C-alpha cells in the first residue's frame, strides 16, 4: 500500500490533517537539497497500554540534529512530545507504532542561498512490523561490506540524523541487496567498521562486547539501551575501532536500531559468523530488549511514555 494512500491523520505544523491531504509543494527546499532532520521511534503494547520507547531522548536528538544543521524548530520539545503521543492516539495505534517526526525547509524559496525558509514539522505514525522480517530474529542477517564509505565527519555531520545523510545509506543498501545480502556494513573513510545502513553494530568475542566508537556512526538510542542492559548483566562492553576481519572472527554479531530493534547477523562477506545463527549473548540482550520495550522491566519505567 502506498504511503500516501492511507487512512488516519498526520500532525503537520501544529495541527492534524487527514493522511491523504498531508501534501507539500514540489519546490520544497528539503526535497531538492536534503537539508532536513528526522527521527524514528517505536511505541509498543504493554500490560498498561501502549507506550512510546524513549520518547524524550528521540526528541532531544531531533533538536540536536536541527541545531547541527542550524535549523530552528518553531516548537518546543514538550510540544513535540505531546504531538507524538497524540499522533499515536489519533491514529488508534494502540497495538504499537513506528513514529516518524521530520523537520524540513519549505517552498518559501529555492536555491542554496534562500534565506526566507520556514522550518516545517510533520509527525506520522503507522504500524511497521519487523524491519528485517520475522525469521531473521533468530536466524540472523547476511551483511556485505560496502564499497561506499560512511560519511567523513567533515563532509556531512554524522551526529545529525539528517535526511541527506541517507543517500549514503541507500547507495550502500542497494549495493548490498543487489549482491544478495540483507544489509550493508559501512566502513569509515579510514577503513574501520562504522555501522549498517540504518542500524548500529555490535560484535561479541570471548564474552566481551565491542561496538564502534561514535566518530562516524549515529549515536543510536537502541545502542545506548543495549549498553545499559549489557552493563546490568555484567557483560563487558568496549567501544573501539573495529576492523572488518574482527567481525569475520567474532562469535556473535548483531545490529541495533529503533526500526531494526536487535537483529542478529549470521554472515559478513560470505563468511559465517560464529555458529551462523543468533548467539547466546545476543539472545539474552534481544530478549531483555523486547521485555523492556513491552514494559516487562519496571527498572526502566521512565523510558516508557504511556499513551
Ligand atoms: N545508524 C543509522 C544510520 C540509523 O539510521 C539508525 C536508525 C541507527 C544507527 C540506530 O539509531 P536508533 O534508532 O537511535 O537506535 N535508523 C532509523 C531509520 C531506519 C529507516 O529505514 O528509515 C530507525 O531505526 O528508525
Query: Is 223 near ligand 1, meaning CB less than 6 Å away?
Result: yes
Query: Is 212 near ligand 1, meaning CB less than 6 Å away?
Result: no
Please choose from 226, 259, 261, 286 the residue to mutate so as to test ligand 1's pocket, defined by most ligand atoms within 8 A of CB.
Answer: 259
pLDDT digits (tens, 9 = 90+) for 250-280: 999 999 999 999 999 999 999 999 999 999 9
pLDDT of residue 285: 98
Query: Is 259 near ligand 1, meaning CB less than 6 Å away?
Result: yes
Segment (H or E) for 166: helix 166-178
For residue 67, which of 167, 200, 131, 160 has the smallest C-alpha distance? 160
Position 1 confidence tier, pLDDT thresholds 50, 70, 90: confident
Location of C-alpha cell 524559496 = 109
Segment (H or E) for 236: strand 236-239
Segment (H or E) for 136: helix 136-139
Question: Comparing 2-6, 84-88, 100-104, 180-184, which segment has the lowest mean pLDDT?
Answer: 2-6
Tell me, yes or no, if 130 is annotated catalytic: no
pLDDT digits (tens, 9 = 90+) for 38-49: 999 999 999 999
For residue 101, which of 258, 301, 218 has the smallest C-alpha distance? 258
Query: Is 220 near ligand 1, meaning CB less than 6 Å away?
Result: yes
**Centre of ligand 1 from the C-alpha of residue 102, in Å:** 13
Per-residue pLDDT, averaged over 54-71, amounts to 98
Q: Compute the distance between CA of residue 18 and CA of residue 6 in angstroms, rounded to an integer.
A: 9
Q: Compute the distance between CA of residue 175 and CA of residue 167 in angstroms, rounded to an integer.
A: 12
pTM here is 0.97
pLDDT of residue 3: 95
Tell me the pLDDT of the chain averaged across its residues: 97
Please choose from 39, 56, 258 the residue to mutate so as to test ligand 1's pocket, defined by most ligand atoms within 8 A of CB.
Answer: 258
- Measured from the Cβ of residue 134, the count of other Cβ atoms closer than 10 Å reads 9
Q: Compute the distance between CA of residue 253 and CA of residue 248 in angstroms, rounded to an integer.
A: 9
Please choose from 57, 169, 220, 223 the residue to mutate so as to test ligand 1's pocket, defined by most ligand atoms within 8 A of CB.
Answer: 220
Model confidence at 232: pLDDT above 90: yes
Residue nearest to atom 3 of ligand 1 (CA): 198
Per-residue pLDDT, averaged over 130-147, amounts to 94
| Atom from ligand 1 closest to the CA of residue 98 | 25
Model confidence at 288: pLDDT above 90: yes
Position 131 confidence tier, pLDDT thresholds 50, 70, 90: very high
Share of the chain above pLDDT 70, in %: 100
Per-residue pLDDT, averaged over 83-105, amounts to 98
Location of C-alpha cell 545502513 = 197
Share of the chain above pLDDT 90, in %: 99
Query: Is 257 near ligand 1, meaning CB less than 6 Å away?
Result: yes
For residue 210, which of 259, 172, 184, 249 has the smallest C-alpha distance? 249
Per-residue pLDDT, averaged over 21-27, amounts to 98
Determine which one of 45, 89, 118, 161 is catalytic: 161
Per-residue pLDDT, averaged over 105-131, amounts to 97
Residue nearest to atom 10 of ligand 1 (CA): 257
pLDDT of residue 176: 98
Per-residue pLDDT, averaged over 88-101, amounts to 98
Amino acid at each position: 500500500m502506498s504511503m500516501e494512500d492511507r487512512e488516519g491523520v498526520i500532525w503537520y505544523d501544529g495541527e492534524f490533517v487527514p493522511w491523504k491531504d498531508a501534501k507539500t509543494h514540489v519546490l520544497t527546499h528539503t526535497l531538492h537539497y536534503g537539508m532536513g532532520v528526522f527521527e524514528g521511534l517505536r511505541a509498543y503494547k504493554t500490560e498498561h497500554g501502549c507506550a512510546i520507547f524513549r520518547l524524550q531522548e528521540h526528541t532531544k536528538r531531533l533538536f540536536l540534529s536541527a541545531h547541527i544543521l542550524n535549523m530552528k524548530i518553531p516548537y518546543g520539545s514538550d510540544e513535540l512530545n505531546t504531538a507524538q503521543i497524540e499522533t499515536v492516539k489519533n491514529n488508534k495505534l494502540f497495538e504499537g507504532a513506528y513514529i516518524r517526526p521530520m523537520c524540513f525547509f519549505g517552498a518559501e524559496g529555492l536555491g542554496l542561498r534562500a534565506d526566507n525558509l520556514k522550518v516545517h514539522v510533520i509527525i506520522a505514525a503507522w504500524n511497521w512490523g519487523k524491519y528485517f522480517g520475522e525469521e531473521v530474529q533468530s536466524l540472523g542477517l547476511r551483511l556485505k561490506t560496502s564499497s561506499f564509505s560512511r560519511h567523513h565527519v567533515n563532509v556531512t555531520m554524522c551526529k545529525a540524523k539528517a535526511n541527506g545523510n541517507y543517500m549514503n545509506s541507500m547507495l550502500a543498501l542497494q549495493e548490498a541487496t543487489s549482491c544478495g545480502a540483507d544489509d550493508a556494513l559501512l566502513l569509515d573513510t579510514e577503513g574501520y567498521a562504522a555501522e549498517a545502513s540504518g542500524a548500529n553494530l555490535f560484535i561479541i568475542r570471548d564474552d566481551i562486547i565491542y561496538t564502534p566508537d561514535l566518530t562516524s556512526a549515529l549515536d543510536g538510542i537502541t545502542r545506548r539501551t543495549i549498553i545499559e542492559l549489557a552493563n546490568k548483566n555484567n557483560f563487558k562492553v568496549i567501544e573501539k575501532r573495529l576492523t572488518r576481519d574482527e567481525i569475520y572472527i567474532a562469535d556473535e554479531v548483531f545490529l541495533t536500531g529503533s526500526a531494526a530493534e536487535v537483529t542478529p547477523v549470521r554472515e559478513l562477506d560470505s563468511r559465517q559468523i560464529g555458529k551462523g545463527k543468533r548467539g547466546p549473548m545476543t539472545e539474552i540482550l534481544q530478549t531483555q530488549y523486547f521485555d523492556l520495550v513491552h514494559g516487562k522491566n519496571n527498572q526502566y519505567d521512565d523510558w516508557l511514555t504511556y499513551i
